[in-house]
A and B are shown apart, each in its own frame.
Chain A
Amino acid sequence: MTLIKLFWSFFQIGLFSIGGGMAAMPLIQNQVVNLHQWLTLTEFTDLITIAEMTPGPIAINSATFVGIRIAGIPGAIIATIGCILPSCAIVSLLAWLYFKYKELTLVQGILSGLRPTIVALIASAGLSIFILAVWGEGGFSMNPQAINLVSVLLFSSALFILRKWKPNPIFVMLGSGIIGGAIYLII
């Protein structure tokens, strides 16, 4: 019974969280904290912190976290499946439509409007992370003392290396994590 409830809750979260990322957060809170009391609000806040610190989409992270607390590993798996099932169905439908009609002039027009939009969305996500890395939780400020110089240095050298030698980005991220981590621990 618990497994069915878990599945159904996360199925709804997966179905209604359009736009991804933080858009899913209020939905998760409603299901997990308000409706079913699976987590307290403090535990939920911890969950968001962990979800932001670890890789992976926030909805999948929550499904695993809540599922494992309520019903162990099977709970985690059931909740995760519930969460991705609506995406699978709807995305497959859209993909089918896309591959069938992508040669149509009108669809071409729509897509030509969407491509620059996606570039803008990526730029916006990148700028948010840049601000978080350089100014921290407080956000952008004109005060030069609020700037994290280590981050600025890591960012500029990483970008220089990426532009110049085009290495695998995973190594750049890991490298800046290890070098940055070492610097932060020393100073």
Chain B
Amino acid sequence: MENKKHIYRKLFACTFYLSAFTFGGGFVIVPLMKKKFVDDLKWIEENEMLNLAAIAQSSPGAVAVNAAILLGHRIAGISGALVTISGTVLPPLITLSVISLFYAAFRDNIVVNAILKGMQAGVAAVIADVVLNLGSNVLKEKDMVSAIIMAGAFIATFFLKINVIYIILACGCIGAAKILIQMKKTQKDGEAQ
């Protein structure tokens, strides 16, 4: 029981502060979650984190909230999901409530703007670090299809600005096709012998 309480508290604290520092929303939170829950706490594996991120991205709603629901559910069931939802939603709820009261002053504040500008570079560095780790792990699999999917998906989203939903659908189909072809092949080899 004590242990469970500890997990809930940890889940809430982690999602609360990840959400409080995730500027720009969307995908920025995934590398931070990966660092916290995969590298630091070792509660889930890297592949599982990427699977959950794919589900979060394919579902409607904010990616950060979806990812938090999935993580909470995976680690501590329904009550875990409730804990991570509140952890993720509270920081923007509080921040925006305060800011909406005097937003003109906030928007034009030089100090706030300078700090936010400085943080952009730091956020970019954190994401670059995670991309280097994840990308080299994908390449280490020595699987041509994975490498091509990674490069193709990057071009499709960054340069061609194709809707992420179509990219996810297409890459999921490619993965499924690859497995089906492999299965056919082993079947044929089996028959030939």
Question: Which residues of A are interface residues toward B (Cβ below 8 A)?
Answer: 14-24, 46, 49-61, 64-65, 68-69, 73, 76-77, 80, 83-84, 86-88, 90-92, 94-95, 98-99, 102, 105-106, 108-130, 132-134, 150-152, 154-156, 158-159, 162-163, 166, 168-170, 172-185
Query: Nearest Cβ distance between residue B88 and chain A, in whole angstroms?
Result: 8
Q: Are A181 and B135 in contact (CB under 8 A)?
A: no
Q: Is B131 an interface residue (CB 8 A)?
A: yes
Determine the distance from Cα of A159 to Cα of B132 in the docked complex, in whole angstroms.
Answer: 11
Chain B CB within 10 A, most for which of A73, A113, A129, A183? A113
- With A77-B93, A102-B51 as contacts: A180 and B115 at CB distance below 8 Å: yes
Q: Are B92 and A54 in contact (CB under 8 A)?
A: yes
Q: A22 — which chain B residues lie within 8 A by C-beta?
A: 26
Query: Nearest Cβ distance between residue A99 and chain B, in whole angstroms?
Result: 8
A-B contacts, CB under 8 A, total: 365
Determine the distance from Cα of A85 to Cα of B21 in the docked complex, in whole angstroms.
Answer: 23
Q: Are B91 and A87 in contact (CB under 8 A)?
A: no
Query: Nearest Cβ distance between residue B111 and chain A, in whole angstroms?
Result: 7
Q: Are A111 and B154 in contact (CB under 8 A)?
A: no
Determine the distance from Cα of A15 to Cα of B61 in the docked complex, in whole angstroms.
Answer: 6
Q: Are B89 and A84 in contact (CB under 8 A)?
A: yes
The size of the chain B interface, using a CB distance under 8 A, is: 104
Q: 10 nearest interchain CB pairs?
A: A180-B118, A113-B175, A56-B92, A109-B179, A87-B61, A176-B122, A126-B127, A57-B62, A158-B125, A21-B26
Q: A59 — which chain B residues lie within 8 A by C-beta?
A: 61-62
Q: Are A176 and B119 in contact (CB under 8 A)?
A: yes
List 5 extra interface pairs beyond A83-B62, A126-B131, A174-B122, CB under 8 A.
A50-B107, A51-B25, A55-B19, A87-B65, A185-B114
B144-174 vs A, Cβ < 8 Å mask (1 yes, 0 no): 0111011111100110000111011001111
Overall SS of chain A's interface = helix
Q: Are A105 and B59 in contact (CB under 8 A)?
A: no
Q: Are B153 and A173 in contact (CB under 8 A)?
A: no
Question: Which residues of B are interface residues toward A (Cβ below 8 A)?
Answer: 17, 19-28, 30-32, 35, 39-40, 47, 50-51, 53-66, 69-70, 73-74, 81, 85, 89, 91-93, 95-97, 99-100, 103, 106-107, 110-112, 114-132, 134-135, 138, 145-147, 149-154, 157-158, 163-165, 167-168, 171-180, 183
Q: Taking CB as reference atom, which chain B residue is nearest A13?
A: B61
Q: Are A173 and B126 in contact (CB under 8 A)?
A: yes
Q: Are B122 and A172 in contact (CB under 8 A)?
A: yes
Query: Nearest Cβ distance between residue A153 and chain B, in whole angstroms?
Result: 8
